[in-house]
Chains A and B, each alone.
Chain A
Amino acid sequence: MQLTNRSKQVSNKEMTLMERAYLPAIAQGLAITIKHFFAKKVTIEYPEVKRYLGPVFRGRHILKRDEQGRERCTACGLCAVACPAEAISMVAAEREKGEETLYREEKYAAVYEVNMLRCIFCGLCEEACPKQAVYLRHDEFVPVFSERDQVIWGKDLLVEDMNDRYTREAWTKEEARALDTKRANGEVTNVVPRPVP
Chain B
Amino acid sequence: MDLTEFLIKTATIFVVFVLTLVIAMYSTWAERKVAGFIQDRMGPNRAGWGGLLQPLADAGKMFFKEDFIPALANKWLFIAGPSLAMLTALLASAVIPFGSTFRFDGHEVVLQGVESNIGILYVFGVVALGVYGIMVGGWASNNKFSLLGAIRAASQNISYEVAMGLSLIAILMMSSSLSLGEIVAQQHGGNWNIFYQPLGFIIFITCSFAECNRVPFDLPECETELVGGYHTEYGSMKLGFYLFAEYINMFVSSAIISVLYFGGYNYPGMDWVYTQLTGSFGPELGHNIATLIGTAVFFGKALFFIFFYMWVRWTIPRFRYDQLMNLGWKKLIPLAIFNIIITGAAVLFLKPVITAWLN
Contact = CB atoms under 8 A, between A and B. Distances in A.
The DSSP consensus for interface residues of chain A is helix
A23 B41 contact: no
A15 to B, nearest CB: 13
B316 A29 contact: yes
B314 interface: yes
Chain B interface size band reads: 10 to 19
Interface string B286-320: 00000000000000000000000001101110000
A126 to B, nearest CB: 36
B40 A33 contact: no
A33 B314 contact: yes
Interface of B: 34, 37-42, 45, 202, 311-312, 314-316
A37 B42 contact: no
A34 B39 CA distance: 10
Interface in A35-79: 36-37, 39, 41-43, 45
Contact of B202 (A23, A29, A32): A23
Nearest to A45: B42
A43 B33 CA distance: 14
A26 interface: yes
A37 B34 contact: yes
Given A26-B312, A29-B315, A42-B40, 14 more contacts: A23-B202, A26-B316, A30-B311, A32-B315, A36-B37, A36-B38, A36-B39, A37-B34, A37-B38, A37-B311, A41-B41, A43-B41, A43-B42, A45-B45
A42 B42 CA distance: 9
B40 A36 contact: yes
A39 B39 CA distance: 10
17 contacts: A23-B202, A26-B315, A29-B315, A29-B316, A33-B38, A33-B311, A33-B315, A34-B38, A36-B37, A36-B38, A36-B40, A37-B38, A39-B40, A41-B37, A41-B40, A43-B40, A43-B41
A43 B42 CA distance: 7
A158 B24 CA distance: 53
B186 to A, nearest CB: 28
Closest 9 CB pairs of A and B: A29-B315, A33-B315, A37-B37, A43-B42, A33-B38, A37-B38, A36-B38, A30-B315, A42-B40
Chain A interface size band reads: 10 to 19
Contacts of A41: 37, 40-42
A30 B312 contact: yes
A165 to B, nearest CB: 36
B316 to A, nearest CB: 6
A20 B63 CA distance: 46
Contacts of A29: 315-316
A93 B315 CA distance: 68
Contacts of A45: 42, 45
Nearest to B202: A23
A39 B311 CA distance: 15
Nearest to A47: B46
B329 to A, nearest CB: 16
A45 B38 CA distance: 18
A29 B315 CA distance: 6
A26 B311 CA distance: 11
A139 to B, nearest CB: 25
B86 to A, nearest CB: 31
A41 B37 CA distance: 8
A23 B201 CA distance: 13
